[in-house]
Amino acid sequence: MTIYINNGFHYETENLVRLFFPNDKISVIHELTDEKPLPLVTALTSETDDGVRVYVSVETGDFFAEDSSTVGISEDTEKDTERCIAVRLYNIFVKLTGKKQPWGILTGVRPIKLFRRLTEKYGEEHAKRYFTEELLVSEEKTALSAVTEKHEKKILALSKPRSFSLYVSIPFCPSRCSYCSFVSQTIESAKKLIEPYFELLLKEIEATARISRECGLVLESVYIGGGTPTTLSAEQLSRLISALRSSFDMSTCREFTVEAGRPDTIDREKLLAIKNGGADRISINPQTLNDDVLKVIGRRHTARQTLDAFALARELCFNHINMDLIAGLPTDNVESFTATLDTLCSLAPESITVHTLAMKRSSHLTMQGKELDTIGESPAAGMLRYCEKKLASEGYHPYYLYRQTRMEGNLENVGWSKDGFDGLYNVFVMDETHTILGVGAGAVTKLKKPGSEQLERIFNYKYPYEYINGFETLLSRKERVKTFYAELAEYISQICL
């Protein structure tokens, strides 16, 4: 697929094309030669006395459609022009494929953030109309956005100008799942790196805590993720949590999560280390309770192990357990998925996060030639519809939502929880509410200017061996946190008045 474009909206146009043709290789050209490449998407703009003239067309050889319109001059001319191109191309693609997208022309990761901005400025009814009429979002997804935004808003109100959250990366797993694109390594391939990595991680925690104190920051939530943090031994988990507690002021921390993750890494000693360390939220992530699907995706555990791990966590009095599922896994179907969800609901975890399979380019699935299904409705759509009905009937509500590229059915990921058990860190990081200080390989520190959209990133080295070899350089980068807040000192003092 080739896109011929003469304006600055090539990135947005390319993303829209990918909604309908996610498996196609897309190239962008700015001049058209005599040999017209097919299929061809054209998106042209030109200035007129009345504003900006938009012309779009799609040609495949046996299909041709075009459309045009004029965008009037206003303070939002650029944004309106971008939307005009997207809407007109979207309508042509619907004619070509016979398929509508549940999120319309929206391609961004954070639709709830947009819905909230519209609600705060114009009211909820306007936000709903804008989603359905201007962005072509389905009624179903618009309603989901409205409910989710209400619950998110309560969590966002907890954050203050000097708030921050801490992310701790443990980039090791027992095996690599076929859909995974995270920077993690199997225990077998990285066994020799774990101990030296762990020792340096403790040093980075101490250094990061010192910086946060010097900046006068207030800790809101802690999330130990990965990878699979419970690939560490019980003794290492105890040392890690002790280092966090001795380095940071945990008295203000509203939520402390450890992603226990894979059931085959969970045992009594590790859960006791987590519990005794004061973590108040854990995540046990089966992804599916179908043993055949687990084998296909490279998981070395059974559904029985998931149920046993959950029972053990309850026995040890964990009162906030999250469980993750993935809709659209290879060989899974709606019946199997609903059986999994029904079983999880019978366990009554405090929260359930439902992801939709995203075909990341670095995953084994993609590299092995698996493509997204573009014919008809994805089975994942039926799975998510059942989730919404079932979870609502069981007393769960959606509290955060985000989207990724190359998702089955162009759908979404949703966190569902019972009242009082929303995952705070999930909302803070997805909304980009406040600063996130990241420690460990692959972690990203995100420095947020309060009351604005300004965000600055500091990247840690991705892989454990890079982290170990470049540790001193990594620490020196963290000094930017201090200068960032020094530059904002007067600004923060004023907004705190």
The amino acid present at 55, given as its one-letter code, is: Y
**Cβ 424 vs Cβ 155: under 8 Å:** yes
Which pLDDT score, from 0 to 100, does residue 23 have?
87
Q: Is the pTM of this model over 0.85?
A: yes
Average pLDDT over residues 77-82: 95
The pLDDT mean for the chain works out to 93
pLDDT over 70 (residue 168): yes
Structure tokens at 128: 């709903």
Indicate the domain borders of the chain: 1-99, 102-144, 154-484
Return d(Cα 377, Cα 19) in angstroms, integer. 13
Strand-pairing partners, residue 170, are 226
Q: Report the topology of domain 1-99.
A: Double Stranded RNA Binding Domain (3.30.160)
The predicted-structure confidence for 244-280, as pLDDT tens digits, reads as follows 999 999 999 999 999 998 899 999 999 999 999 999 9
Burial of residue 8 (CB within 10 Å: 0-12, 13-18, 19+) is: exposed
Model confidence at 368, pLDDT cuts 50, 70, 90, reads low
Rg (CA), the chain: 24
Q: How many CB atoms lie within 10 A of CB 268?
A: 12
CA-nearest of 428, 416, 418, 113 to 253 is: 428
Structure tokens at 180: 């995974």
pLDDT over 80 (residue 184): no
**Cβ 366 vs Cβ 415: under 8 Å:** no
The amino acid present at 317, given as its one-letter code, is: C
Return d(Cα 307, Cα 321) in angstroms, integer. 12
Least confident interval from 185-199, 206-220, 466-480: 185-199
HSE-CB of 123 using CA atoms within 13 angstroms: 3
Which pLDDT score, from 0 to 100, does residue 289 have?
97
Q: How many CB atoms lie within 10 A of CB 134?
A: 14
Q: How many CB atoms lie within 10 A of CB 95?
A: 10
**Cβ 208 vs Cβ 358: under 8 Å:** no
More confident residue, 36 or 86: 86
Least confident interval from 185-194, 214-223, 239-248, 371-380: 185-194
Which secondary-structure segment (H or E) carries 435?
Answer: strand 435-439
Model confidence at 87, pLDDT cuts 50, 70, 90, reads very high
Q: How many CB atoms lie within 10 A of CB 140?
A: 13
Q: How far is CA 154 from CA 144, 253, 420, in A?
A: 16, 17, 11
Which pLDDT score, from 0 to 100, does residue 355 have?
97
Q: Between β-strands 27-29 and 40-48, what pairing exists: parallel, antiparallel or unpaired?
A: unpaired
Which secondary-structure segment (H or E) carries 324?
Answer: strand 321-327
Return d(Cα 190, Cα 212) in angstroms, integer. 31
Model confidence at 394, pLDDT cuts 50, 70, 90, reads very high
SS (H, E, C) 333-348: CHHHHHHHHHHHHHHC
Return d(Cα 51, Cα 67) in angstroms, integer. 17
Which pLDDT score, from 0 to 100, does residue 186 have?
60
Which secondary-structure segment (H or E) carries 8?
Answer: none
Average pLDDT over residues 83-103: 97
Which pLDDT score, from 0 to 100, does residue 351 have?
98
Which pLDDT score, from 0 to 100, does residue 375 have?
72
Model confidence at 174, pLDDT cuts 50, 70, 90, reads confident
Return d(Cα 390, Cα 276) in angstroms, integer. 34
Written as one string, the DSSP assignment of 278-310 is T--EEEEEEE-S-HHHHHHTT----HHHHHHHH
Which pLDDT score, from 0 to 100, does residue 405 have?
86
Domain made up of 154-484: CATH architecture: Alpha-Beta Horseshoe (3.80)
Average pLDDT over residues 288-303: 92
The predicted-structure confidence for 408-442, as pLDDT tens digits, reads as follows 999 999 999 999 999 999 999 999 999 999 999 99
**Same topology between domain 1-99 and domain 154-484:** no
Strand-pairing partners, residue 438, are 167
Average pLDDT over residues 50-75: 95
HSE-CB of 107 using CA atoms within 13 angstroms: 19
Q: How far is CA 14 from CA 1, 21, 110, 372, 486, in A?
A: 10, 10, 18, 17, 40
φ, ψ (nearest 5 deg) of residue 65 = -145, 150
Structure tokens at 490: 């007067």
**Cβ 444 vs Cβ 437: under 8 Å:** no
Least confident interval from 173-187, 367-381, 406-420, 440-454: 173-187
pLDDT over 80 (residue 372): no
Model confidence at 304, pLDDT cuts 50, 70, 90, reads very high
CA-nearest of 324, 361, 353, 331 to 180 is: 361
Phi-psi region at 332: left, alpha or beta (left = phi > 0; alpha = psi -120 to 50): beta
The predicted-structure confidence for 319-346, as pLDDT tens digits, reads as follows 999 999 999 999 999 999 999 999 999 9
φ, ψ (nearest 5 deg) of residue 50 = -90, -15
First-to-last C-alpha distance (Å) of the chain: 54
